[in-house]
């Protein structure tokens, strides 16, 4: 359902039943037909239930409760400049990575949070090849993590990052990898990421360079640690 609503200017507040039919509090006397049989399903002793009630509560005489759903991350059908501007409020480089002068890889899969139809957080994901020592592996490259300026500190980054990593896990990928400025290391540590100690080389159009940002990793499989050895990203960074 969330997938179908994606892109529409709506927010799911609660799931509602379609109109229910209930008996009136004081039933109209009903006389059993001479031939017997089941009680009627239609007739004037029935009325439509109010759509914001739930059967269970009403049956016990308690008032029905309006439920407000907390935000959840959804997979986005697209993440173009329009969506980027929607989240960042038009800020061109919210992560401040333009000064690195690096060329970045587009993300393939996007997760976001919408509030009242407006996109307020995003995280992108792309599978990237990595060599660590003699080993080669595919990891889930996380990037484009951003929360709307007026919605920060409300757990939205946690939601989108978790959704992205759950997706990567479902694909059988063992590790997540990201790059960030040092001041964001504590934030990602709160989300279970760890700093990848050594300087890491990444590909650029003119050949490999040392990544000036911190590299961090997270395990997507319980108990599996990142392999030891010098890591090198065999693609553009994400
Ligand atoms: C970085 C950013 C995405 C964080 O978004 P957010 O929605 O405010 O983050 P959250 O509220 O989900 O915080 C996640 C966790 O980090 C913690 N946290 C937030 N800022 C922190 C900090 N400076 N130091 C340590 N922990 C921090 C939060 O308390 C929360 O932990 P908790 O869930 O255990 O309480 C947001 O500030 C932003 O969009 N910045 C500009 C873009 C950017 O720099 N993106 C990062 C690119 S790598």
Token pair belonging to 67: 């439920």
Q: Tell me, what's the pLDDT at 237?
A: 98
CATH 3.90.1150.10 fits 74-233, yes or no: no
Q: Tell me, what's the pLDDT at 3?
A: 54
Distance 62 CA to ligand 1 centre (A): 41
Q: Tell me, what's the pLDDT at 197?
A: 86
Distance 145 CA to ligand 1 centre (A): 9
Residue 61: other Cβ atoms inside 10 A: 6
Query: By C-alpha distance, which of 52, 45, 46 is closest to 19?
Result: 52
Distance 153 CA to ligand 1 centre (A): 6
**Start and end residues for every CATH 3.40.630.30 domain found in the chain:** 74-233
Distance 122 CA to ligand 1 centre (A): 12
Residue 199: other Cβ atoms inside 10 A: 12
Q: Tell me, what's the pLDDT at 198?
A: 81
For the chain, counts of helices (H) and of strands (E): 5, 12
Q: Tell me, what's the pLDDT at 26?
A: 46
Token pair belonging to 201: 């080389």
The pick from 88, 100, 125, 147 for probing ligand 1's pocket by mutation, whose C-beta has the most ligand atoms within 8 angstroms, reads 147
Q: Based on the number of CB atoms within 10 Å of its own CB, is 237 exposed (0-12), middle (13-18) or buried (19 or more)?
A: buried
Distance 157 CA to ligand 1 centre (A): 6
Between CA 126 and CA 132 the distance in angstroms is 18
C-beta contacts of 153-159 below 8 A and 24+ residues apart = 156/71, 156/113, 156/120, 156/121, 157/121, 157/123, 157/187, 157/191, 158/190, 158/191, 159/71, 159/72, 159/73, 159/113, 159/121
Give nearest CA residue, ligand 1 atom 17. Answer: 187
Distance 56 CA to ligand 1 centre (A): 40
Q: Which atom of ligand 1 is nearest to the CA of 147?
A: 39
Q: Give every CB contact of residue 223 below 8 A, 6+ residues apart in sequence.
A: none
Q: Tell me, what's the pLDDT at 29?
A: 45
Q: Which atom of ligand 1 is nearest to the CA of 97?
A: 47
Distance 6 CA to ligand 1 centre (A): 24
pLDDT in tens, the chain (238 residues): 555 555 555 555 444 444 444 444 444 444 444 555 554 455 444 444 444 444 333 444 555 455 546 889 999 999 999 999 999 999 999 999 999 999 999 999 999 999 999 999 999 999 999 999 999 999 999 999 999 999 999 999 999 999 999 999 999 999 999 999 999 999 999 999 999 988 899 999 999 999 999 999 999 999 999 999 999 999 999 9
Q: Tell me, what's the pLDDT at 54?
A: 40
DSSP 121-190: EEEEEEEEEEEETTEEEEEEEEEEEEE-GGGTTSSHHHHHHHHHHHHHHHTT--EEEEEE-GGGHHHHHH
Token pair belonging to 41: 């399903």
The pick from 102, 144, 157, 180 for probing ligand 1's pocket by mutation, whose C-beta has the most ligand atoms within 8 angstroms, reads 157
Token pair belonging to 194: 């760890």
Residue length of the chain: 238
Q: Which residues line ligand 1 (CB under 6 A)?
A: 94-95, 145-147, 152-158, 180, 184, 186-187, 190
């Amino acid at each position: 359902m969330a997938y179908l609503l994606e892109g529409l200017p709506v927010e799911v507040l609660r799931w509602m039943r379609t109109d229910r039919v209930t008996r009136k509090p004081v039933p109209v006397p009903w006389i059993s037909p001479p031939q017997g049989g089941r009680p009627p399903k239609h007739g004037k002793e029935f009325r439509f239930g109010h759509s914001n009630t739930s059967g269970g509560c009403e049956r016990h005489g308690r008032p029905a409760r309006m439920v407000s759903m907390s935000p959840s991350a959804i997979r986005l059908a697209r993440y173009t400049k329009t969506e980027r501007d929607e989240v960042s409020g038009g800020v061109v480089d919210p992560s401040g990575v333009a000064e690195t002068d690096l060329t970045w890889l587009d993300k393939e899969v996007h997760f976001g949070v919408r509030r009242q139809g407006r996109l307020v957080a995003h995280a992108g994901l792309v599978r990237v090849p990595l060599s660590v020592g003699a080993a080669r592996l595919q990891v889930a490259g996380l990037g484009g993590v951003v929360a709307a300026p007026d919605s920060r500190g409300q757990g939205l980054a946690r939601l989108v990052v978790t959704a992205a990593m759950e997706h990567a896990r479902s694909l059988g990928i063992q590790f997540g990898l990201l790059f960030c400025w040092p001041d964001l290391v504590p934030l990602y540590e709160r989300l279970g990421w760890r700093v990848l100690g050594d300087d890491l080389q990444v590909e650029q159009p003119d050949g490999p360079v040392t990544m000036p940002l911190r590299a961090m990793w997270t395990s997507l499989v319980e108990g599996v640690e990142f392999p030891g050895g010098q890591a090198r990203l065999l693609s553009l960074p994400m």
